[in-house]
Amino acid sequence: MASVAKPTVATMLGVHNILGQGTCESYLLFRGETQLANGFRTFLYFLGLAYCFIGLSAITARFFRSMENVVKHTHEVVVIDPYTGAETIRHEKVWNFTIADISLLAFGTSFPQISLATIDAIRNLGNLYAGGLGPGTLVGSAAFDLFPIHAVCVVVPRTGELKKIADIGVWLVELFWSFWAYIWLYIILEVWTPNVITLWEALLTVLQYGLLLTHAYAQDKRWPYLSLPLEKGERPEEWVPAEAASHEHDSSVGNNYSEILQAVEDEDRKVVDIFSIHSSNETGSMYQKVPEFDDAAEPSNKILPEETALEDSDVLALWRQQFVDALMLESRESRKLNNIYLRLARISWQLLLAPWRLLFAFVPPYNIAHGWVAFISSLIFISGIAYIVTKLTDLISCVTGINPYVIAFTALASGTSWPDLVASKIAAERQTTADSAIANITCSNSVNIYVGIGVPWLIDTAYNFIAYREPLRIENAAGLSFSLLVFFSTSVGCIVVLVFRRLTLGAELGGPKLWAWVTSVYFMLLWIIFVVLSSLRVSGVI
């Protein structure tokens, strides 16, 4: 049996091209790119990166809608009255809202970063050194989630409106696991096995995601010995305000099912409502009213209820309408605009989006299999865009000589975290509490480590263990550890301010506009501190 040659450290470190050592011979589309000036190539690659981020926003909007259909799934529960013996059938939601927030919502909004890190790990199979693109993007994404997204959410509520966390116990559990994730990462990088990740460390990292889900569910259900002795705040019955939910019923079936970038194009209509998992009626937040036959029989200009089965011809009609809508450059609202320049601007924007709209029209309608087909199809498209992003990042690093780790926790982290920003902003605007807006941030940060870094490292460590009996070495462990320390320090400053707002104003989000904007600026300064210090460390300045 032929022995497998082990890659050397020189081979690992020789993959980076440093500016000044010659022209970068790598190219994206055609060999002629290498003949262009480095400055012009850099501009083109950054332009391509920005266009990929627009595509991620578009497909994520469709992903949100499919996820909404997944979590709207209900099952029948027979309730027997203890006094009369009468049976009542209720349609109870399959998904617990806490688990949905941590798994579907947090995992979905973090999937661009997770898929990017996984692709980077697969590309590095056979190397003793792990790539820095994935971990850098995920740590940078955590900073973007915690600081800029909090900065946006705190000013989103109307002037004087206060939105607080209703179930503080669940949030504290989520916050604990979010902080522990980064402490754990520092321990395995610097304490147990410095600069090396073993198979067991990677496996334990992934398994802790299951512990997070279990602990959060236990806290939500107030299991003895596993939950904090805190009173469970009741969510308001009107979880999504009626005026917000009504927008969803103002348009035709075809338009509502096929519109993309809804949260960006027009925030006053057809906004992607990923939080209808919390819809409620008089029976509580975990129940959904069974639609009457007359309500379900009016599909002409209403959203079809989930319980209403569609014929195959109806599904094909919806799918065909997606392609028709993708090719339309003007909506009915755009045609009503009197300002010709604003109208042209909207048409230009739609023209820019047309390739993405046409591509994502291949995602099946959301009502098939409770949205699971569209859910999985969206993830596949996100992975494809993430692969292109990794190639563009390699080229930018190659042409400019900028350390890919710096690009990862700045440009890539900001671009791939856009879905997190959209999700939390919608929650802060439309929900009457701050639970999901803030839970999305803390849970996404946990998912970034336990899944986003844990799974790629598990892939690489398992391969190295089987092929070489060697652990996985971290190429820039010192820089990554320093970023973790900076992030942990600044995140403490962020949480302290949220607690202070809770004690003084009674809520984490909103309040007097002046103080909301002061808090927002403070959060943005924390993010700038993280980016600057991490960049200087990687560059060798500090």
User: How far, CA to CA in Å, does 144 sit from each of 27, 140, 453?
Assistant: 30, 6, 17
- Domain-embedded: residue 490: yes
Contact between residue 56 and residue 388 where contact means Cβ atoms under 8 Å apart: no
User: What is the per-residue pLDDT for 214?
Assistant: 92
User: What is the per-residue pLDDT for 434?
Assistant: 85
Contact between residue 68 and residue 248 where contact means Cβ atoms under 8 Å apart: no
Return the number of other C-beta atoms located less than 10 Å from residue 88's C-beta. Answer: 10
User: What is the per-residue pLDDT for 285?
Assistant: 34
How confident is the model over 147-185, as pLDDT tens digits? 999 999 999 988 888 998 888 888 899 899 999 998 999
Strand 196-197, strand 74-80: pairing: unpaired
- 3-state secondary structure at position 87: strand
Q: At 129, which helix (H) or strand (E)?
A: strand 129-130
In DSSP terms, 474 is beta-bridged to 130
Q: For residue 27, which phi and psi values (nearest 5 degrees)?
A: -150, 165
Q: Which CATH number goes with the domain that contains 167?
A: 1.20.1420.30
- Given a cut of 60, is residue 478 above it in pLDDT? yes
User: What is the per-residue pLDDT for 391?
Assistant: 86
Contact between residue 443 and residue 100 where contact means Cβ atoms under 8 Å apart: no
Strand 196-197, strand 472-474: pairing: antiparallel
User: How far, CA to CA in Å, does 174 sit from each of 44, 208, 211, 436, 444?
Assistant: 41, 12, 11, 12, 10
- Domain-embedded: residue 252: no
Strand 162-163, strand 509-510: pairing: antiparallel
- Domain-embedded: residue 325: yes
User: What is the per-residue pLDDT for 149?
Assistant: 92
Section 118-143 average pLDDT: 84
Contact between residue 12 and residue 127 where contact means Cβ atoms under 8 Å apart: yes
State the chain's maximal CA–CA distance in angstroms.
Answer: 86
- Predicted confidence band of residue 330 (pLDDT cuts 50, 70, 90): low
Most confident of 81-85, 235-239, 483-487: 483-487
- Domain-embedded: residue 185: yes
Distance CA 444, CA 474 (A): 23
Q: Which of 63-77, 191-205, 245-259, 311-325 has the lowest mean pLDDT?
A: 245-259
User: What is the per-residue pLDDT for 387?
Assistant: 86
pTM over 0.75: no
Q: Which residue in this structure is represented by tokens 């308001």?
A: 236
With b meaning 16 or more CB within 10 Å and e meaning fewer, what string describes 229-264? eeeebebeebbbeeebbebbeebebbbbbbbbbbbb
- Domain-embedded: residue 290: no
Q: Which of 306-315, 411-420, 482-491 has the lowest mean pLDDT?
A: 306-315
Name the token pair of 206. 């992934």
Distance CA 147, CA 523 (A): 5
- 3-state secondary structure at position 287: strand
- Domain-embedded: residue 510: yes
- Domain-embedded: residue 506: yes
User: What is the per-residue pLDDT for 58?
Assistant: 80
User: How far, CA to CA in Å, does 188 sit from each of 183, 200, 473, 481?
Assistant: 9, 10, 12, 10
User: What is the per-residue pLDDT for 331?
Assistant: 63
Section 419-423 average pLDDT: 77
Q: Which amino acid would we find at residue 36?
A: L
The residues near 382 (Cβ < 8 Å, ≥ 6 apart) are: 56, 59, 60, 63, 111, 112, 115
Domain count, the chain: 1
Distance CA 31, CA 11 (A): 24
The residues near 427 (Cβ < 8 Å, ≥ 6 apart) are: 153, 275, 434, 436, 437, 440
Name the token pair of 264. 């960006």
Of 427, 119, 117, the closest CA to residue 272 belongs to 427
How confident is the model over 30-70, as pLDDT tens digits? 888 888 888 899 999 999 988 998 888 788 777 777 877 77
- Domain-embedded: residue 210: yes
Averaged pLDDT of the chain: 76
Domain around 204 = 37-225+318-539
Q: Which of 329-343, 392-406, 429-443 has the lowest mean pLDDT?
A: 329-343
